[in-house]
Amino acid sequence: MKARRIVIPSFLLAALVAIAVPLGALEVTNGLVKLTLHEGIGRFSLAGLTQASGASYTPLLVAQDPRSSMVSLLVSDRVIRLGESSDFLEVVEKTATGARFSWASKQLVVTETFSFIGVPGSDVASGVRVDLQVANVSEQALSVAVRYLFDTWLGEASSVHFRTDTVAGLTRELTVTKDERPAYWVSPLADNAEGFGFQCMLSGEGVTVPDRVVFANWKRLSDSAWSYTTSTARTFSQAPYSMNDSAVGQYYDSRPIPRGESLTITLALGRASPSGLTLQTAAATVAAAETPAVEATAIETTLEVTAPETTVEPTPAVTAPAPDPIAAARSDLTAINELLQEIDRRLATGSAVTAEELAALEQSLAALKERAALYGTGRE
């Protein structure tokens, strides 16, 4: 029986690709992992080596658009996505143990420092330690909450999107609190004999325990201004075109930061291992950057330039980031890639498509075709 092919209009793909903005990147490798800091958008990517891949790295997070994973701050009821706010000056630099982002505004200086780490008892790097430091340089005390959003993909080729040390497989939305958290979660590569996957530690010496962890559809989680309430009745799909699309949100609740002080949140991320990851710095030498990096500016200079002269009044209500047409176009391009992957997966496996699933795919195509008009390409 011939497989039914669904054709994506070429003009739509061309229009979205044409408006994409090329971005520089600082790329460093160590042991079994590669870390990339994307200049100008404040995002990072991770990739790892598998036994079967040789020297070819497999992305641990969605690679089509690194904007889909992000770290956000809630400051005095205002949501700030790092890398997207014009209030902050961004600096990217390579360090002796990895790399670092720095952002400075009149209220805050934020640094996100990445150091290569490994599994217990090994000097070979298999992950990164992430230290997010938020320093209050304003004239008043501030309350700051943090949310990490990870756009996962390795488990999307199967029904099991996530597993933990206590749950063999998650197929629906779930929230776990600080008191009931597992030791870690893994986004496992489907049908991989060596257990390759993306792992995030939720406990362990030096790791900051999140107040809650949310497993949900990426679009629902990304579109939420801040908090998101899961439902076990929902899968990781949302019509029309965020289908079989999982993500994880890690929430660190609001903490007061007095004037002149800071808070630090520490994570451990990397290739999945039954023994987990340790925050001990890997001994292997960090490879030189493979692409040019933005020239680093000393943080002391940034502080001097951005030091506040007057008290900054808090914003009275929660406000989501202003719409960004480039980000919207990238989101559409990501939706197309995800739709193509889903179609390719079904064609490759020969799995049956229900009438409901076919209707959802066709609805996705219709929605994307409608959005093509936004890019001045016309319609078929």
pLDDT at 120 over 60: yes
Tell me which amino acid residue 70 is.
M
**Most confidently predicted of 99-103, 241-245, 310-314:** 99-103
Residue 47 has pLDDT above 70, yes or no: yes
pLDDT value of position 192: 84
Nearest CA-CA partner of 105 in 87, 90, 91:
87
Q: Would residue 357 count as lying in a domain?
A: no
Q: How far is CA 312 from its chain centroid?
A: 30
For 93, 131, 152, 365, the CA distances from 65, given in Å and listed in that order, are: 21, 23, 12, 20
Percent of the chain with pLDDT over 70: 67
Q: Looking at per-residue confidence, does 158 or 226 come out higher?
A: 226
pLDDT digits (tens, 9 = 90+) for 11-38: 444 444 434 444 589 999 999 999 999 9
CB distance 122 to 33 below 8 Å: no
Beta pairing partners, 109: 104, 135
Torsion (CA) 212, 217, 223, 227 in degrees, nearest 10:
-20
The pLDDT of residue 286 is 52
- The number of domains in the chain is 1
Q: What is the pLDDT of residues 292-329, one digit of tens each?
A: 333 333 333 333 333 333 333 443 444 444 445 555 56
Residue 98 belongs to a domain with what CATH number? 2.70.98.90
- Which range (166-180, 283-297, 343-357) has the least confidence? 283-297
User: How far is the C-alpha of 32 from the C-alpha of 27, rounded, in Å?
Assistant: 14
Q: Residue 31 domain-assigned?
A: yes
**Rounded to whole angstroms, how far apart are CA atoms 24 and 266?**
26
* Separation CA 334–CA 213 (nearest Å): 24
Handedness of CA 345, 346, 351, 357 (dihedral sign): positive
Residues recorded for the chain: 380
Mean per-residue pLDDT, 67-89: 95
pLDDT of residue 157: 86
Mean pLDDT of the chain: 79
Confirm if 111 and 244 have CB atoms less than 8 A apart.
Answer: no
Give the integer Cα–Cα distance in Å for 171 and 158: 9
Is 313 part of any domain? no
The pLDDT tens digits of the residues spanning 177-194 come to 999 889 999 999 988 888
- The answer to whether residue 66 is domain-embedded is yes
Asked if residue 67 lies in contact with residue 330, where contact means CB atoms within 8 angstroms, the answer is: yes
- CB of 254 closer than 8 Å to CB of 79: no
CB neighbours (10 Å) of residue 194? Answer: 11
Give the whole-angstrom CA distance, residue 205 versus residue 117.
Answer: 13
Q: What does the pLDDT average to over 216-232?
A: 93
Could you tell me if residue 59 is inside a domain? yes
In a domain, 323, yes or no: no
Residue 147 included in any domain: yes
Mode of pairing for the β-strands spanning 98-104 and 89-94: antiparallel
User: Which residues span the domain enclosing 43?
Assistant: 24-306
Does residue 331 belong to any structural domain of this protein? no
Element (H, E) at 257: strand 246-257
Strands 184-188 and 163-164: antiparallel
